């Protein structure tokens, strides 16, 4: 259930990250959502390794962790696409 929850939280996180960091992304909203899912997976993995607990529920701390991961990945994605 953990990975499925990370993906669902990541989906919401991707939408929130797009709202926080608006702009034209090379892949549009679909790529932003995929980055959100990846951010949710990365954020959930890192938070569980740092001892903040597993992301096993759809709750506020899980969403915050996923949004932070999504923002970092979205920023990196935009930087890479600008150089390329």
pLDDT at 71: 84
Domain range summary for the chain, segments of one domain joined by +: 2-83
Q: For 55, left (φ over 0), alpha (ψ -120 to 50), or beta?
A: beta
pTM here?
A: 0.75
pLDDT at 36: 79
Tokens of 30: 């679909």
CA distance 32 to 75: 11
Q: What is the pLDDT of residues 22-66, one digit of tens each?
A: 777 667 767 777 887 888 777 777 777 888 766 566 778 777 877
pLDDT at 80: 85
Tell me which of 6 and 18 has the higher pLDDT: 18
Is residue 1 scored above 60 in pLDDT? no
């Amino acid at each position: 259930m953990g990975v499925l929850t990370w993906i669902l939280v990541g989906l919401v996180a991707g939408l929130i990250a797009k709202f926080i960091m608006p702009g034209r992304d090379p892949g549009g909203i679909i790529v932003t959502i995929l980055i959100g899912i990846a951010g949710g997976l990365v954020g959930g993995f890192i938070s569980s390794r740092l001892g903040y607990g597993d992301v096993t529920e759809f709750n506020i701390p899980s969403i915050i962790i996923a949004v932070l991961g999504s923002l970092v990945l979205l920023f990196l994605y935009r930087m890479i696409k600008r150089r390329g």
